[in-house]
């Protein structure tokens, strides 16, 4: 069960393997946490969130912030909704306001980094991951985000290093292993990429992208039978 402590301490921690919708689903759960000591307007916003009326919830959180600009719960929930609505500039602005309340929270830097990533501002995102890692040196998600940014900047060796650091902390993470495969594939290290994709498939055997990319690597190595087999698996998965 998610608690109020989760909202304050861990709400920013969850970042998905591709920084996409699963993380937002987690935010929605957090938006619906009841808080006994919350401002009345925040509780009204929670009620709106419980009915999936997130725009109405945002209005309540904004009203609460007019009365108290430092209301942590209202700031965080508003930031989540802005991120949910893909209003990443506003999400960053609100997370930065929360940083003024909790300046030593690495998860806040992680969320700011993620939103810069969405905006394709990769250097700004990297700066935030460095700040997060300075606060929490064993922060697997920050290393992962760093790897994503390096990949987009075509700094594939740096991406591999960051993913390796993330994997050393969290050894069975599908996204990290899959992305290592992608880096190796771009660098034409097809045999090693195949090893990474095979490891990823063991974790998520129904993930078509892993089979497809592994098939491409087999194809590039001239192993057409194995490539065809992987492509056929992709077709079978996509039928279901």
Any idea which residue has 């599908």 for tokens? 174
Work out the mean pLDDT of the chain and round it to a whole number.
85
Structural domain boundaries in the chain: 172-240
pLDDT, position 140: 92
pLDDT, position 38: 60
Output the CA angle 87-37-81, nearest 5 degrees. 10
DSSP, collapsed to helix, strand or coil, labels residue 34 as: coil
CA dist 87 and 126 (Å) reads: 20
pLDDT, position 27: 55
pLDDT, position 13: 37
pLDDT, position 17: 36
pLDDT, position 103: 87
Mean per-residue pLDDT for 171-199?
96
Token representation of residue 72: 């942590």
To 10 degrees, what angle do helices 40-50 and 54-67 make? 170
pTM: 0.83
The CATH number for 172-240, chosen from 1.25.40.10, 3.40.630.30, 3.20.20.210, 1.20.58.220, is: 1.25.40.10
- Of 3-7, 43-47, 68-72, the range with the lowest mean pLDDT is 3-7
Token representation of residue 123: 């250097």
| Positive or negative: CA dihedral 41, 42, 48, 51 | negative
Contact between residue 119 and residue 88 where contact means Cβ atoms under 8 Å apart: yes
Contacts of 149-154 with CB under 8 Å at 24 or more apart are 149/113, 149/117, 149/122, 149/123, 149/125, 150/126, 151/179, 151/182, 151/183, 152/117, 152/120, 152/122, 153/122, 153/123
pLDDT in tens, 79-107: 888 888 889 999 999 999 989 888 888 88
Q: Indicate the burial class of 104 (C-beta count within 10 angstroms; 0-12, 13-18, 19 or more).
A: exposed
pLDDT at residue 10 above 80? Answer: no
Contact between residue 84 and residue 19 where contact means Cβ atoms under 8 Å apart: no
Q: Would you place residue 71 in the very low, low, confident or very high pLDDT band (cuts 50, 70, 90)?
A: confident
């Amino acid at each position: 069960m998610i608690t109020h402590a989760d909202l304050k301490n861990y709400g920013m921690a969850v970042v998905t393997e591709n920084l996409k919708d699963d993380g937002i689903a987690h935010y929605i759960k957090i938006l619906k946490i009841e808080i006994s000591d919350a401002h009345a307007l925040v509780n009204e916003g929670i009620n709106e969130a419980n009915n999936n009326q997130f725009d109405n919830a945002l209005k309540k959180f904004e009203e609460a912030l007019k009365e108290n600009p430092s209301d942590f719960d209202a700031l965080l929930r508003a930031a989540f909704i802005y991120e949910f609505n893909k209003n990443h500039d506003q999400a960053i602005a609100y997370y930065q306001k929360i940083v003024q309340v909790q300046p030593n929270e690495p998860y806040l830097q992680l969320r700011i980094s993620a939103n810069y990533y969405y905006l394709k501002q990769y250097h700004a995102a990297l700066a935030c991951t460095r700040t997060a890692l300075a606060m929490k040196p064993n922060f697997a998600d920050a290393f992962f985000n760093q790897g994503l940014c390096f990949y987009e900047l075509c700094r594939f060796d740096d991406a591999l290093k960051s993913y390796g650091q993330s994997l050393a902390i969290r050894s069975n993470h599908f996204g990290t292993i899959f992305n290592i495969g992608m880096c190796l594939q771009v660098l034409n290290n097809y045999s090693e990429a195949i090893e990474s994709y095979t490891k990823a498939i063991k974790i998520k055997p129904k993930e078509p992208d892993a089979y497809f990319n592994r098939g491409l690597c087999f194809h590039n190595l001239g192993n057409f039978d194995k490539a065809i087999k992987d492509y056929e698996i992709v077709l079978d998965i996509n039928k279901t």
